[in-house]
Structure 1
Amino acid sequence: MLISRRPDPADAPLSNIQIDSRTLPLQGAISILGLEFNSSLTFTSHIKRLAKNAAWKLDCIRRIANLLDDRGIEILYKAQARSLMEYSPLTWSSCPPSYLRLLDQVQNRAERLIQLKSQHPRTALQPLQTRRNVGGLCVMYKIHKQQSLHLAPLRLHPTHVPAYDTRESHIMEHQVTVPFARTDQYLRSFLPHFSRLWNCMVRLTDIPQSTTLHQFKLHINQWLQNQEI
């Protein structure tokens, strides 16, 4: 596969690769460990396939909904459909929001199915984007607070602390430098997106001072829920 930002990558010169006297054909997309990468790294085809598979699984749940109550449908949805839409989300979450809404539509259908079986009003399922934000911030916590060695290549430089005291000087040591992004696609990728979200959290809360990852996850869930309200 040739990865290129050209409008027509096929016009780029590319030498033939041969194995056992057989020429390998040029692919427009390849699948690695369940993730589909295309030549422009947009992940749009991967999201379409995810939404299609999740919708198919939800349809299977709908066919047996008469045998289940609302709690049973919710458990099946979370185990079979939502888990599929949450496989390695920090890799493909940089795709356009219009494609991420395809996944939200599947969850909206699941919520309607659960409500039809419920005898009482139920709280809505946690939005998928919120769950992705929680996962990304937990990774940032592992990188910058727990100093996880296997995540060291993702570590960002701390923000420069001024030589004199300011109103925010006591929190700037916990902030990170946001990578510069020239394109919207890179701006939505892991490091630029979650470094900005991390800095926002540091300015508004003392959540990064949590002593354990479990405490951090509980606090960040509550903070993001309040932000939505």
Structure 2
Amino acid sequence: MLISRRPDPADAALSNIQTDNRTLPLQDAISILGVEFNTSLTFTSHIKRLPKNAAWRLGSIRRIANLLDDRGIEILYKAQVGSLMEYAPLTRSSCPPSYLRLLDKVQNRAVRLIQLKSQHPGTVLQPLQTRRNVGGLCVMYKIHKQQKSPHLAPLRLPPPRVPAYDTRESHNMEHQVTVPFARTQQYLRSFLPHFSCLWNCLVRQTDIHQSTTLHQFKLHINQWLQNQAI
């Protein structure tokens, strides 16, 4: 694959690469560990393909829904469809909201299918955006509190400037991070700007970041995000 900022990278001069007397064809996208990125180093093709694969799996569940109860459909959905849509969620944090809504439509169809079988209609699945926020905040917790993952060290953000005088929020300033400057909405939706803002909001409103274990932090984060959505 040729990575370039040209509108059409295939027009660039590129010598053929041969192995075992065979010429390797030029690819528009490459998949590594189930995550596909293209010649512009974006995940557009991956995000476009994901809702189609998830909808195909959900269709298979719908065909056998008459053999299952609501709990069976929910478990099968989380195992076969939800796991696909939630795999590597941080790669799609900066993609356009229109792409994320395609994933939400798949989950909404699953919710309706479960509610048809349920004796107690109501929301049975956590929103995908909430689950993405939980995953991102857990990564922030590992980076800034646990500091046990050396491969995440480059993502560590510096603390904000020490205030010149005491304010109502100066006592927890040391636990906040400096939000990277973003000129575009696309970069503002990416991991560091988005989750640094969310992390600072969490630190200002709660003491969840003081949790001793990642499990406790995750439990409290789910409750906090649920209260934020109400």
Normalising by the smaller structure, the TM-score range is over 0.9
Deviation at 1:76, TM superposition (A): 0.5
Deviation at 1:21, TM superposition (A): 5.2
Whole-angstrom CA distance in 2 between matches of 1:17 and 1:187 = 38
1:67-120 residue CA offsets vs partner (Å, 9 max, x unmatched): 111111011001110001111111222211111111111100000100111122
Aligned length: 229
Deviation at 1:153, TM superposition (A): 1.9
Other-structure match for 2:71: 71
Deviation at 1:15, TM superposition (A): 4.4
Whole-angstrom CA distance in 2 between matches of 1:13 and 1:202 = 51
Other-structure match for 1:9: 9
1:48 aligns with 2:48: yes
Other-structure match for 1:187: 188
1:42-72 residue CA offsets vs partner (Å, 9 max, x unmatched): 3121122211111111111111111111111
- Tell me: CA distance 1:166–1:15, structure 2 relative to 1, closer, same or farther (3 Å): farther
Deviation at 1:121, TM superposition (A): 1.7
SS of the counterpart of 1:173? Answer: helix
Other-structure match for 1:225: 226
- Tell me: CA distance 1:82–1:70, structure 2 relative to 1, closer, same or farther (3 Å): same
8 A Cα contact 2:37 2:44, kept in partner: no
Q: Which runs of 5+ in 1 are unaligned?
A: none
1:114 aligns with 2:114: yes
- Tell me: CA distance 1:186–1:5, structure 2 relative to 1, closer, same or farther (3 Å): farther
- Tell me: CA distance 1:179–1:15, structure 2 relative to 1, closer, same or farther (3 Å): farther
Q: Bigger shift: 66-75 or 25-34?
A: 25-34
SS of the counterpart of 2:175? Answer: coil
SS of the counterpart of 1:192? Answer: helix
SS of the counterpart of 1:47? Answer: helix
Other-structure match for 1:26: 26
Deviation at 1:219, TM superposition (A): 1.0
Aligned residues: CA RMSD:
1.7
Whole-angstrom CA distance in 2 between matches of 1:123 and 1:112 = 9
- Tell me: CA distance 1:8–1:183, structure 2 relative to 1, closer, same or farther (3 Å): farther
Q: TM (normalized to structure 1)?
A: 0.92
Q: Bigger shift: 87-96 or 180-189?
A: 180-189
1:131 aligns with 2:131: yes
Deviation at 1:167, TM superposition (A): 2.2
8 A Cα contact 2:111 2:123, kept in partner: no
Whole-angstrom CA distance in 1 between matches of 2:185 and 2:4 = 17
Q: Bigger shift: 19-28 or 71-80?
A: 19-28
1:144-192 residue CA offsets vs partner (Å, 9 max, x unmatched): 0001233212111111212432222111101111222333322222112
Whole-angstrom CA distance in 1 between matches of 2:39 and 2:139 = 27
